[in-house]
Amino acid sequence: MNSDQATTHDCIRSLLSAIANASLYSLSHPQVTRLIDDTASQLIPLLEATPLITVICVDGELIINGQPQESTLFFSRFTGILQKNGITHLTFSSGISRQELASLVAELAQPNEYDHTVSWPHITAGQVEVSLNGARLPASPTHGNGRGAPGSMSTSREVALTLSDMPMEEMARFREIYETVKQKKKLRITGIASVVSGFVDAFQQQGDALLTMSALRSADEYTFTHSTNVCILTIAQAMALGIEGEQLRDFGIAAMLHDIGKLYIPEEIVTKKGSLTPEEFDIMKQHPVLGARHLLGTPGVPRLAVTAAFEHHRKFNGSGYPQTGANWQSNLCSQMTMIADFFDALRTRRSYREPVDLPTIAGMMLDMSGKEFHPALTKNFLRILARLMPATTEPAPQ
């Protein structure tokens, strides 16, 4: 890949992140503004050297300046946005302004299903005939499943998942979502659902690659937030049990939002170095109820997310918090989320301790099986880890 291609890819990453954030917040939101500025700062100089950049979407395949692109996660998401808007052809030409980019972001943040071409002085987007290898091809219609019409041109490619497919801008997006809650603004679930759906799609194409990035990451690697790790690890557990479709997506959303109640806890308690006092711990134990209450009042949140937020500290043997009736049975998703939460918390370096190594965590989980953790779910989780790291993980119990 030459430097111009790399810069073009970076521009699309920034543009994708700007669109994703604009779907959650206003165009004037600081995060959106920064991402549009990033895109402009890269794209404007690039177009001085390469006067025209053409992006073509043919039946889910992305072609930039005549070159088919590998099907990475971020390219797939960008293609999906184009398809939702009915766009098969997008061009950028020399002289483009930041304001034009901002207008494009605003248009693509809310799907419009264009049946015509829209343009600005230096940007054109819409459904037009495109040229590929000298042949004229009609624009492929987009259907509800996000794929082109049967029989249209397509190239099957192996998905290449790398950490670069999860840009820091997307992780910052989760922090912005949490800031929304802190400021007592309405949480918009659509952006979270979109990201979780991306994780699910990635698993279905090359699951171990995504899981490895989460479960086996360096203890000093902060590309993923804790909530994102818990989401990925919970999706992996659910898929191993045969859960799929809309229910699988709801599991992921629930895991992503499990700790949202901590935003109602004083920051000095949440971030305290060392052990909490009994009084501080009593305050901390309120976060499941506070999180469930917040999600219950948020439009579009799956009921499963409310349940997991409330139950994710309820242990298999009935201990933990919040206290409930003696016959209370925690939801399967809540129990999976608790296992993923436990694992990721121990894998993370804290101010008061080093990260715990994987064999030690596996041994601890075996000891806790049947007490804090559901025994069958513990076996399921350890088998997932054993598949990825057979030489370092304790074998799953038979």
Annotate 73-94 with b (16+ C-beta within 10 A) or e (fewer). Answer: bbbbbbbbbbbebbbbbbebbe
Do 250 and 380 belong to one domain?
A: yes
pLDDT at 151: 27
In-domain check, residue 383 = yes
Do 199 and 98 belong to one domain?
A: no
CA distance 199 to 197: 5
pLDDT in tens, 99-139: 999 999 998 887 665 444 567 888 888 764 433 333 333 33
Do 119 and 204 belong to one domain?
A: no
212 has a pLDDT exceeding 60:
no
pLDDT at 44: 92
- Residue with the two structure tokens 């305290």: 272
- Model confidence at 284, pLDDT cuts 50, 70, 90, reads very high
- Model confidence at 384, pLDDT cuts 50, 70, 90, reads confident
* Residue 33 lies in domain: 3-137
Which alpha helices (DSSP H) does the chain contain, by range?
A: 3-22, 30-49, 73-84, 98-109, 168-182, 189-215, 226-240, 245-256, 267-270, 278-284, 287-296, 303-311, 332-347, 358-368, 375-388
Do 275 and 309 belong to one domain?
A: yes
Q: Find the helix packing angle between 332-347 and 245-256, rounded to 10°.
A: 50
- Residue 254 CB contacts under 8 Å (≥ 6 apart), including other chains: 234, 302, 304, 305, 307, 308, 309, 333, 334, 337
Task: Give pTM, 2 decimals.
Answer: 0.56
236 has a pLDDT exceeding 80:
yes
Q: Is it true that the peptide bond before 322 is cis, omega within 30 degrees of 0?
A: yes
Annotate 370-387 with b (16+ C-beta within 10 A) or e (fewer). Answer: eebbbeebbbbbbebbbe
Do 15 and 88 belong to one domain?
A: yes
pLDDT at 120: 86
Do 187 and 293 belong to one domain?
A: yes
Residues 98, 184 contacting (CB under 8 angstroms): no
Length of the chain counted residue by residue? 398
- The DSSP bridge pattern shows strands 52-58 and 61-64 to be antiparallel
In-domain check, residue 150 = no
pLDDT in tens, 171-194: 545 555 556 666 666 666 666 777
Residues 381, 214 contacting (CB under 8 angstroms): no
CA distance 57 to 131: 11
160 has a pLDDT exceeding 60:
no
Do 96 and 217 belong to one domain?
A: no
pLDDT in tens, 353-365: 788 888 899 999 9
pLDDT in tens, 54-101: 888 776 677 887 777 777 777 788 888 888 888 878 889 889 999 999
Q: Total domain count for the chain?
A: 2
CATH classification of the domain holding 257: 1.10.3210.10
In-domain check, residue 36 = yes
